Structure 1
């Protein structure tokens, strides 16, 4: 890969595709072709960077042969030149308005060099929940509420 500098999700810019991200696949699901339940149209993923930030990512069926071997939940990937675009899906898994996509110029490598969070959970104490200190539009599914008395 040309770019050894890792870009964190918070620094992604839709005006450039010349960056490399390091991400762990947290979850993966697929969308079937309209009218064909046995054919996959798109694979969607929830990715986490080493700062613990999340972003949704997708790979269309046209590129499956190239990327399918890399699409494994809990694997860490170096993804060079993904496309960043507006997330037009009805349900925003991460609460963000943008998502990544693999496209023709994207390259992917598996890596075992992960220094980010080991688990998906972000912990918060119950007092913060009661006082509504959790940021608005935060996907609550990423939180585990910890009761401290």
Structure 2
């Protein structure tokens, strides 16, 4: 890969395709071909960069031979020259209006050099949620811990 400079998700620009992103695969799922439950049309991934930002990425079936071996959840990859386009999917898993796509001029390389978050979630105290200190459109999950005390008489 000739471009060693890493571009973070917040700095992606649709006007350029000559960039490299370093990302960890957080989750993957498949979209089946219309009318076929056995053939995969597209692989979608949720990616996280070293700042902890998320973006969705897609790879169409025509490019599976080149890229499928790299798609392993929790692996860190360098994506060189992916395409950035409007995310037209009905369900936006990242809250981001854009997504990455791999195409004929893209390349992927596995790397062990990861300095980003180890996990794909961030802890926030409940008071911050109630006082609206959490950024708008940030997905949150609520974890409840209930203590039950049982006394025997």
Same fold (TM over 0.5): yes
In the aligned structure 1, how far is the partner of 2:26 from the partner of 2:89? 19
Higher strand proportion: 1
Runs of 4+ in 1 over 6 A off after TM superposition: none
The equivalent of 1:124 in structure 2 is 124
SS at match of 1:37: coil
User: Is 1:105 aligned to residue 101 of structure 2?
Assistant: no
CA distance in 1 between partners of 2:133 and 2:115 (Å): 28
Q: CA RMSD in A?
A: 1.4
Match of 1:53 in 2: 53
Gaps of 5+ in 1: none
TM-score scaled by structure 1? Answer: 0.93
Task: Give deviations 1:56-84, integer Å, cap 9, x for gaps.
Answer: 00000000000000000000001100000
Alignment match, 2:148 = none
TM-score (norm 2): 0.91
Q: Is the 8 A contact 1:126 1:146 kept in 2?
A: no
Report the CA distance shift for 1:100/1:128 in structure 2 as closer, same or farther (over 3 A): same
1:43 matched to 2:43? The reply is: yes
Change (3 A) 1:146 1:132: farther
Q: Any stretches of 5+ residues in structure 2 without a counterpart?
A: 146-153
Structure number with larger C-alpha Rg: 2
> Aligned partners of 2:7, 2:144: CA distance in 1, in Å?
32
Spell out, residue by residue over 1:18-71, the C-alpha distance to the aligned partner (whole angstroms, 9 max, x if none): 000000000000000011000000000000000110000000000000000000
Tell me the residue number matched to 2:84. Answer: 84
- How far apart are the structure 1 equivalents of 2:88 and 2:133? 28
State the number of aligned residues. Answer: 145
